[in-house]
Every structure is written in structure tokens, then in C-alpha cells.
Copies of this chain bind each other. A is one copy, B any other.
Amino acid sequence: MRPCSTTTTLGSFDCDGVLWRGDHVIDGVVEVLNILRNRGKKLVFVTNNATKSRKSYKKKFDQVGLDVHVDEIYGSAYAAAVYISSVINLPRDKKVYVIGQAGLEEELHDEGIAFIGGTDPNDNTLAPFDLQNFTLDPSVAAVVCGLDTQVNYTKLSKAFQYLTRNPGCLFIATNEDSTFPSAHGLLPGAGSISAPLRFALGRDPVCTGKPASTMLDCVKAKVNFDPKRTIMVGDRLNTDILFGRNGGLATLLVMTGITTEGDITEPNASPIVPNFITESIGDFRAVEKVQSTA
């Protein structure tokens, strides 16, 4: 084991399936997060949920009894907003067309980015869309697409116009999750919402959520940490673990979420292999007990 040092080390955690399941915190998580904080570890919570802003997402932590600060939460909507404001430096006279919900709009607003679409009632309609009644806004320089359960042909058609008719218009997706774990089962995820545009355009968006390293760039912009002293903890191989590997972090897979033992032991198992596997983050309570009685 490497000796402890005073350098800040980072624990980066996925949330759903790692910290909680549905509305219930996973056994032992409260104690383990406290143990880590008491040892001076910096913690960040990284979620691909793009329907909630970080402020809204904090309420979920409160609800399950986890005490975290908004600044410790990194969502894919926030990452999209930071990417637009600080990576591509969208000029102030340009705006974004949104396919997404209020959380995405809130993050864009907080980063000072002008936008149209999103929750605008004019775009949340099943009325027929006719190009004859559409006026192209030449100041739209990007389309941002997140999970949007109000997605419809008007939004897709407008986004398609901007992406094909406004020169250089950027195509950004908060994340590529194919499915979304609702309280009562899987539903189509954010990747499915941007899929019609991918197909119509024949090109892929820039993604700001896990496993893309854009999300880690966003964390790096706010926290000074050493990737070599950082571990990513998650329940999904193709988002969390791949995200950690893409960023040069150590990775820990927990079995409290979507991945089953079969997924990692079967002959056709994913080629994405974590550095460590444990049943649950709660297991680390045992380490504290061993060390305190040693």
C-alpha cells in the first residue's frame, strides 16, 4: 500500500445503483462517505441525469439522507453548459436550441447561455409542423439534446433545420445512455432522444456525459486533483467504468446496480474491465472497523 499523504485524493461516484436504489440509500453508504471525508478525501458525484440541474439533484441526496454540497455534484446537463460556455466559448450573441427539460435549461441559464426551445410551450406540441410557418433563427449556433420526455416532431424538425441550415451549428448531447432506469423499469434514455437527429444527419453529437472525457474536463475545471490518486466508483461498465478508464482513473465496480455477476463472467463478457470489484460501497465499513481495532 502507498502511504497516506496530505495531497487531496478524489473519490468519484456514480449515484443511482451505487449510493441509492430508487428512493432508498444503500446500506452503509452514509458511514462510508463519512469515513472518506474524515480521512480528507475529496468526493464528487457524477451523474448522467440531464433532466435535473445540480440544485434539483441535491434534493435527491437530501431525500435519501446523504449530506452533500451542490458543488460536489456534476451532472451531464451541467457538463454540457460548461462545455458550451468554457470549452467552445460560445459568443454572447449566439444561442442554443434545446431538446431537453427544465434542469438542462437551468444549467444553461446559470452559465449565461441564451437558449430557445426546451420547455417553451410552442415547441411542446403534437400539432403538425410545417416548414412554411418556421423562421430560422440565424443566431442559433448549437443544438443541445438531453433526455426529454416531451420530445416530438416539432422539436426534432426545428433542431434538424438548425443543424443543416445554420453553417457550423454544433450538435451536442448530454449523454448517450440507451436506457433510463425509471422507478418501475427501463425506458428509452437520452441517447434515444438524440438518435433521430444522428440518423437524419448521418453524424454523431459531441457527448458531455459519461463515458466521454468531456465530463472529467468539467470536474477538472473546478477541482484540482491527481488522476493517479482518484478512483471512479460505478455500477455500469459502459458508462462509469469506461469513463474512469478514459480519464486514467482507477475504477471500482459495485454490484448494487445494473451489472450482474453474469455480465462480467460470461464468455461474451464486456471487454471493459474494472480494476476492482466489490459487492457494495457499504463493504468499506469493514475496513474502518479492522483499522480501528488493529
A residues with a Cβ closer than 8 A to B are 124-126, 128-132, 148-153, 156-157, 160-161, 164, 178-179, 182-189, 191-193, 195-202
With A129-B187, A150-B153 already in contact, 19 other A-B pairs whose C-beta atoms are closer than 8 Å: A124-B126, A126-B150, A130-B184, A131-B184, A132-B184, A150-B152, A153-B188, A157-B188, A160-B188, A161-B185, A164-B186, A178-B200, A179-B200, A188-B196, A192-B195, A193-B196, A195-B195, A195-B196, A195-B199
Residue from A179, A187, A202 having most chain B Cβ neighbours under 10 A: A187
Taking A178-B202, A195-B196 as contacts, is the C-beta distance between A128 and B149 under 8 angstroms? yes
Q: Which residues of B contact A191 (CB under 8 A)?
A: 199-200
B126 in contact with A126 (CB, 8 Å)? yes
B125 in contact with A126 (CB, 8 Å)? yes
The majority secondary structure among interface residues of chain A is mixed
B149 in contact with A129 (CB, 8 Å)? yes
B196 in contact with A131 (CB, 8 Å)? no
Smallest CB gap from A160: residue in B:
B188
Smallest CB gap from A125: residue in B:
B126
Q: Give complex CA distance A132, B150 in Å.
A: 18
Smallest CB gap from A193: residue in B:
B196
Q: Out of B130, B153, B156, B199, which one reaches A178, CB within 8 Å?
A: B199
Q: Which residues of B contact A126 (CB under 8 A)?
A: 124-126, 150, 152
Smallest CB gap from A156: residue in B:
B188
Q: Out of B128, B157, B192, which one reaches A156, CB within 8 Å?
A: B192
Q: Give complex CA distance A202, B189 in Å.
A: 12
Q: Give complex CA distance A100, B60 in Å.
A: 37
Residue from A131, A179, A196 having most chain B Cβ neighbours under 10 A: A196
Smallest CB gap from A187: residue in B:
B157
Q: Which residues of B contact A183 (CB under 8 A)?
A: 131-132
B196 in contact with A192 (CB, 8 Å)? yes
Q: Which residues of B contact A195 (CB under 8 A)?
A: 192, 195-196, 198-200
Q: Which residues of B contact A198 (CB under 8 A)?
A: 195, 199
> 7 A–B contact pairs at CB < 8 A?
A153-B187, A178-B200, A178-B201, A178-B202, A191-B200, A192-B199, A198-B199
Smallest CB gap from A133: residue in B:
B184
Q: Give complex CA distance A189, B152 in Å.
A: 13
Q: Give complex CA distance A197, B185 in Å.
A: 16
